[in-house]
């Protein structure tokens, strides 16, 4: 198991000024200095408020977490404080929350175990705890770990390339993305949350930013791949619908390629054989085609 690079002191740029809010997901808010990012886990009420909004609002409002969405989320948290939790904490919300949390924890563990120190993830450093100044309330955050900042998420990078009509490069990056997925499978790891905001661009590499959703259990992989079979346009599933609208041929070629590669038979071909696999539960059980 690779340990993060341990420093005696945090990089000075983390404490020199206020860190910029760079990105956010359902469970974390990410702040950046020039070369590093630190992560703030959201509180349970924040996550539940986001899940509620996600249920209540049409998809298009949720495409990019904006200032308005943040305000709405804070309002929802206010409402949650005055009405009984039995009303808003429906079993569905609880389920979504529980799934996010268990997948996030397991993904982090698998990342530390199998990916840290490889070129598939950004470098992580750890240092004695420091307080950093961040935008927004309460303004301070204690951290003892930072991750190398990537130039952009793969989603942002592809959006920029299509805007500039650099379609050949778009296809190249999409191919690299499929290559990255295959190198994960060869290590016995599969991502159940392969949204392109969870991947970053570093030089000519793609790295995994968000380990949440990584699994080493073949049964889960199998279930996911059964679902993949009915997805007509994988690029839409990955959040690339609006991005590839300008180049429908690229989208169609990518979808075809995806179908060729992200299916049971092909994943199984890359998956470690029984004796090499990391744990007995990750063993393909119903491997009729092998």
Ligand X SMILES: Nc1ncnc2c1ncn2[C@@H]1O[C@H](COP(=O)(O)OP(=O)(O)O)[C@@H](O)[C@H]1O
Residue with the shortest CB distance to ligand X: 25
Q: Which stretch binds Mg ion (CB under 5 A): 6-14, 20-28, 61-69, 142-150?
A: 20-28
**Contacting ligand X (CB under 6 A), which of 46, 116, 210, 255?**
210
CB of 163 to ligand X, least distance (A): 18
Question: Does residue 213 belong to the site contacting ligand X (CB under 6 A)?
Answer: no
In order of 25, 98, 135, 213, 233, the CA distances from 47 in angstroms are 10, 11, 19, 17, 29
Residue among 10, 14, 23, 196 that touches ligand X (CB under 6 A): 23
By CB under 5 A, tell whether 25 contacts Mg ion: yes
Among the listed residues 171, 184, 183, 188, the one whose alpha carbon sits nearest the alpha carbon of residue 257: 171
Least distance to ligand X from the beta carbon of 189, Å?
16
21 lines the binding site for ligand X (CB under 6 A): no
| Contact stretch for ligand X (CB under 6 A) within 55-63, 136-144, 149-157, 250-258 | 149-157
C-beta closer to Mg ion: residue 154 or 244: 154
* Residue among 24 and 222 whose Cβ is closer to Mg ion: 24
139: left (phi over 0), alpha (psi -120 to 50) or beta: left
Using the rule CB under 6 A, which residue among 132, 134, 181, 200 binds ligand X? Answer: 200
Adjacent-strand bridge partners of 214: 191
Task: Confirm or reject binding of residue 28 to ligand X (CB under 6 A).
Answer: yes
Q: Given the complex with Mg ion, which of 10 and 196 has the nearer CB atom?
A: 196
Nearer of residues 10 and 243 to Mg ion, judged by Cβ: 243
197 binds ligand X (CB under 6 A): yes
Output the CA torsion sign for 267, 269, 270, 273: positive
| Residue 51 CB, nearest approach to ligand X (Å) | 12
Torsion of CA 121, 176, 106, 70, to 10 degrees: 80
The residue count for the chain: 290
How far apart CA 13 and CA 119 sit, in angstroms, is 24
Q: Which residues of the chain form contacts with ligand X (CB under 6 A)?
A: 22-28, 30, 37, 104, 122, 147, 149-150, 153, 197-198, 200, 209-210, 212
Q: Which residues of the chain form contacts with Mg ion (CB under 5 A)?
A: 25, 198, 210
């Amino acid at each position: 198991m690779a340990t993060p690079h341990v420093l005696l002191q945090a990089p000075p740029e983390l404490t020199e000024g206020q860190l910029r809010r760079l990105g956010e997901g359902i469970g974390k808010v990410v702040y950046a200095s020039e070369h590093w990012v630190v992560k703030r886990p959201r509180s349970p009420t924040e996550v539940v408020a986001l899940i509620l909004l996600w249920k209540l609002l049409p998809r298009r409002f949720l495409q990019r977490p904006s200032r308005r969405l943040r305000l709405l989320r804070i309002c929802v948290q206010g409402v949650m404080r005055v009405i009984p939790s039995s009303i808003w904490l429906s079993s569905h919300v609880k389920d979504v929350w529980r799934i996010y949390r268990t997948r996030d924890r397991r993904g982090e563990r698998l990342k530390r175990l199998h990916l840290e120190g490889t070129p598939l993830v950004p470098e992580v450093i750890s240092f004695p705890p420091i307080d950093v100044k961040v935008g927004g309330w309460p303004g301070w955050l204690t951290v003892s770990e930072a991750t190398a900042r990537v130039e952009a998420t793969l989603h942002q990078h592809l959006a920029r390339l299509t805007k500039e009509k650099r379609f050949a490069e778009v296809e190249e990056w999409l191919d690299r993305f499929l290559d990255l997925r295959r190198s994960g499978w060869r290590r016995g790891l599969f991502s159940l949350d392969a949204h392109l905001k969870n991947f970053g661009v570093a030089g000519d590499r793609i790295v995994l930013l968000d380990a949440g959703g990584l699994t080493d259990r073949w049964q889960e992989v199998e279930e996911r791949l059964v679902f993949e079979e009915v997805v007509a346009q994988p690029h839409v599933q990955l959040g690339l619908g609006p991005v590839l609208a300008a180049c429908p041929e690229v989208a169609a070629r990518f979808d075809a390629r995806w179908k060729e590669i992200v299916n049971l038979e092909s994943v199984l071909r890359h998956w470690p054989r029984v004796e090499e696999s990391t744990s007995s539960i990750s063993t393909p059980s119903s491997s009729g085609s092998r």
